[in-house]
Amino acid sequence: MTLYHLYGLAVASDFECPELTEITPEIAAERGYATVELRRSSAPLQLEGATVLADWISATRDACLCHFSDIARFLIERPDRITVEMLPGAAESDMRAYLFGTGFGTLMHMRGLVPLHISAIQAPDGVTAFTGPSGAGKSTKVAELHFKHGWQVICDDVAVLHPHDTVPVLHAGMNRIKLWNDAVARFGVDPTRLTRDIMREDKFHLHDPEMFVAEPQVLQRIIEIGDHGRHLDEPNGAGAFTLLMNAIYRPELGAIFADRANIFKTISRCAVHVNKAG
């Protein structure tokens, strides 16, 4: 198995994950990373006693079975394992598009961590995160800042807060950014470096470790954006709390598997620190 870093954890994987940074067991131990397992199954996955929640997911208190079209099934088990059944003819790159989002997002909720649906950049005055609805332009915003100023990207799409951090640290780890076709042209990205997003014909994935900050970073600002990257709000206090709560990744899965009091405390602690004047 290969060991990778993701969301402040070590991932021991049966799959190759080029979007992640490979680490050694010594690095994982030095950083105090807990280890989760990513296993390959050769047999059909089942979850006994599960309640069907939707046509693609069934769940018990400590596990869920997800079915993604003709791509794969995931059995996600609290606290430290995801088992993947690849479906006939599917590509592992397509599977990973679901794995690093819904798959690991669910496991983060199960582990008591708080995943946020944000994109973030290392600006000269500190880490700034952008939140907003899917398609608002979060990825394009951080890509623009990177290509224009050379600032490094913290994350695109998901970063995780750990409840025991005394300050709001963003734990990310994916060396991938999603770009719409017009952004690819605007930023002059070589098309041969891209892979097509399985869910959107006109969106692409750019894998480039040199664009990204390798270590966790303290969040200083969070900005809400609307359609086409339009700046909406940069609140503090109660407003920041609301903005962060609204940014929780896959909240419907958090409602099933997460400790709501833990989420409240973690988001409250984060809201106190972000968007401070001066």
pLDDT tens sequence across 13-47: 999 999 999 999 999 999 999 999 999 998 999 99
56 to 64, 72, 102: CA distances (angstroms)? 10, 11, 12
Place of tokens 């400790």: 259
At residue 131, does pLDDT exceed 60?
A: yes
Q: How many CB atoms lie within 10 A of CB 156?
A: 25
266-278: average pLDDT: 86
55 phi/psi in degrees, rounded to 5: -70, -10
CA distance 213 to 144: 16
Closest residue by Cα to residue 249 from 152, 170, 188: 170
Which pTM does this prediction carry? 0.93
Q: How many CB atoms lie within 10 A of CB 215?
A: 10
- Coil/strand/helix, residue 224: strand
Domains of the chain (ranges; CATH) run 2-111 (no CATH), 115-273 (3.40.50)
pLDDT of the residue at 142:
94
CA distance 126 to 140: 19
pLDDT band of 170, cuts 50, 70, 90: very high
pLDDT of the residue at 152:
96
CA distance 157 to 76: 20
pLDDT tens sequence across 86-106: 999 999 999 998 999 999 999
pLDDT of the residue at 256:
94
